[in-house]
């Protein structure tokens, strides 16, 4: 990818921000469960999760299809390139920018600071990929996590809405765990091994490796929270991770 791609790529990222802004406005018109309507922070979080769900479905299936359609990309993680992958990175960059702005402008930074850290890491890494055209396949592998996020977001929506259907939550709980292993832990583990073994630790390689290791720590932390919440509730800690209304965000 040459420098001529940079201006169109910036326009694509900006267009993606606008698309997710439109989705957020559309979410305002959707009906909300009574448990959500009763508290302002829940109403905002509900809309935020609906937009996140839309991104997970689109980006997750996009990444999965792109890698399935062009498996040869996996043989060149550093320099492999596809237009579909490039567009996907621009699309997801726009989502992360939009979500960061949504958190900040709605005064949710304190309760959602971990999301902001994650988004800052993702945006900076993706911008470097867009500019250089390198490690695009690594980004596509990382975005497989959005397949897992589909079920994680459904889990959070079910808990927030107090849906009187334990069977639905239980079924999603186990599917979510399996998807977490397949689409989050497995790609992340492979990429960490690959970067530590094959990528030169200087320049962009050093920057992306550092981001990847920080993301490893965050993913393991989230996984331990998920296990405590859904499978070992007796091990959950008091009020860590709550927002000002007592609603949990990352430990939902």
Domain ranges of the chain: 5-27+40-229
Q: Which residue has the tokens 């009763």?
A: 38
Q: Which residue has the tokens 């695009």?
A: 136
d(CA 201, CA 116): 26
d(CA 176, CA 15): 31
d(CA 8, CA 220): 36
Classify residue 106 by burial, with Cβ atoms within 10 Å: 0-12, 13-18, 19+. middle
In sequence order, what are the beta bridge partners of 248?
A: 242
Q: Looking at the whole model, is its pTM more than 0.75?
A: yes
Provide the residue count of the chain. 252
pLDDT in the model for residue 248:
40
What stretches of 106-234 show up as alpha helix (H) in DSSP?
113-132, 136-142, 145-161, 166-180, 186-198, 204-230
Q: Which residue has the tokens 């009020």?
A: 239
pLDDT in the model for residue 151:
97
Tokens of 139: 């980004």
Neighbours of 227 (CB within 10 A): 13
* Helix, coil or strand: residue 248: strand
- What is the pLDDT tens value at each position of the chain, 252 positions in all? 444 457 789 999 999 999 999 999 999 999 998 889 888 778 999 999 999 999 999 999 999 999 999 999 999 999 999 999 999 999 999 999 999 999 999 999 998 999 999 999 999 999 999 999 899 999 999 999 999 999 999 999 999 888 767 889 999 999 999 999 999 999 999 999 999 999 998 899 999 999 999 999 999 999 999 999 999 987 765 544 444 333 444 434
Neighbours of 146 (CB within 10 A): 26
pLDDT in the model for residue 5:
58
Q: Which of 58, 39, 61 is nearest to 50 (CA)?
A: 58
Q: Which residues contact 141 (CB under 8 A, 6 or more apart)?
A: 63, 67, 74, 77, 187, 190, 191
């Amino acid at each position: 990818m040459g420098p001529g791609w940079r201006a169109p790529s910036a326009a694509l990222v900006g267009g993606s921000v606008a698309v997710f802004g439109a989705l957020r406005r559309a979410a305002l018109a959707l009906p909300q469960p009574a448990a959500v309507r009763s508290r302002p922070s829940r109403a905002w979080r509900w809309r935020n999760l609906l937009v996140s769900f839309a991104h997970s479905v689109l980006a997750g299936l996009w990444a999965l299809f792109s890698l399935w359609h062009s498996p040869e990309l996996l043989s060149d993680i550093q320099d492999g390139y596809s237009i579909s992958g490039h567009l996907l990175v621009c699309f997801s960059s726009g989502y992360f920018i939009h979500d960061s702005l949504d958190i900040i402008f709605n005064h949710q930074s304190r309760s959602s600071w971990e999301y902001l850290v994650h988004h800052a890491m993702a945006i900076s890494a993706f911008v470097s990929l867009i500019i250089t055209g390198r490690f695009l396949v690594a980004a596509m592998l990382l975005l497989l996590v959005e397949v897992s996020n589909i079920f994680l977001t459904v889990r959070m929506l079910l808990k927030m809405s107090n849906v009187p259907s334990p069977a639905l939550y239980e079924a999603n709980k186990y599917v979510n765990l399996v998807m977490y292993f397949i689409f989050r832990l497995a790609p992340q583990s492979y990429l960490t091994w690959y970067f530590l073994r094959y990528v030169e630790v200087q320049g962009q390689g050093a920057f992306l490796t550092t981001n990847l290791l920080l993301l490893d720590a965050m993913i393991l932390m989230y996984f331990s929270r998920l296990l405590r919440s859904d499978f070992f509730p007796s091990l959950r800690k008091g009020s860590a991770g709550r927002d000002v209304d007592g609603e949990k965000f990352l430990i939902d």
